[in-house]
A and B are shown apart, each in its own frame.
Chain A
């Protein structure tokens, strides 16, 4: 069974731009969660989607948004990029939520200059 894939793996953007990251979950998984990992703040939960609906949301500004498609693939969008948005963005999928084992993708390394 193929694992969680994230594209692109690396991205360099300029302040003020917007970016879209993509996550393809494991086949059959309906829950997709997004996390931001930085050296200073560690791993922080962004949001979770289940069957195309946002089910939980972390404490991030409205510049961070996401969506999930009918095939469970998910995208995360960050608008008006700031230097502090530089991070590793991880996507995780599971059958039905955090109580079930989450499988993480390798992440997208976003650098904002």
Chain B
């Protein structure tokens, strides 16, 4: 089974400052990794995903994440945040399809608050 730990439940950041949201995962098999964002009263939207290849993944809205297999981490970063980035961010892991257990396991979420 897979598990995800998001180390920070809340992260306040000043507008235009950089931000890093931390995510660590645990799995005994190969995984795919995802970051989703949830705006108030809405469903989730995919920010970016790592399936294979380059460990630096670029997503929408200027976000990027780096897959670090040795540290089992997939931290999300943005060099300069905006008010509109205020939302809840979820890291998620899935076993690869070859395992036959392809289901998403989510972390508990990090609430990002941008301070004007």
Residues on B with C-beta less than 8 A from A55 are 102
Contact residues on B (Cβ < 8 Å of other chain), bracket: 20 to 34
Give the complex CA separation of A107 and B109 in angstroms. Answer: 17
Most A CB atoms within 10 A — which of B36, B92, B102, B105?
B102
Chain B residue with minimal CB distance to A107? B43
Q: How many A-B residue pairs have CB under 8 A?
A: 57
Chain A residue with minimal CB distance to B45? A104
- Give residues 32-76 of B contacting A (CB, 8 Å): 32, 36, 41-46, 49, 51
A80-113 CB mask vs B (1 if < 8 Å, else 0) is 0000000000101000011101111111000000
Residues on A with C-beta less than 8 A from B44 are 90, 92, 102, 104
B interface residues, Cβ below 8 angstroms from A: 32, 36, 41-46, 49, 51, 90, 92, 94, 96-97, 101-109
